[in-house]
Amino acid sequence: MNAIVTSMIANLYAEPNGTSELIDELLYGMPVQIIEELDGYWVRIQSTYQYEGYCRKVNLLLDNVKTSAWRLEASHVIRQSFADILQHPRIQSPKLMTLVRGSIVRALQDEELDSEWASIQLVTGERGYLRKKWLSEQIADNSLSEQDFRENVVQTALSYLTTPYRWGGKSPLGIDCSGLCSMAYMLNGVLIFRDAKIVEDFPIKEIALDQIQKGDLLYFPGHVALYLGDSLYVHSSIGGNEVTINSLNEQHPLYRKDLATTITAVGSYFAD
Enzyme catalytic residues: 177, 223, 235
Beta carbons within 10 angstroms of residue 272's beta carbon:
6
Nearest to 245 by CA among 222, 227, 224: 227
The whole-angstrom separation of Cα 192 and Cα 205 is: 10
> Contact 237/252 with Cβ under 8 angstroms?
no
Burial 53-88 (b: 16+ CB within 10 A, else e): bbbbbebbbeeeebbeebeeebebbbbbeebbbbee
Helix (H) or strand (E) holding 130, with range, is: strand 127-131
Q: In what order do the strands lie in the sheet with 117-121?
A: 95-100, 82-86, 127-131, 117-121, 104-108, 76-78, 135-137
Q: Are 85 and 95 in contact (CB under 8 A)?
A: yes
Contact, 243 vs 180, CB < 8 A? yes
43's CB contacts (< 8 A; 6+ apart) are 3, 34, 35, 36, 37, 54, 55, 57, 60, 62
CB 198 within 8 Å of CB 55: no
Partners of residue 97 on adjacent β-strands? 85
Contact 98, 8 (CB under 8 A): yes
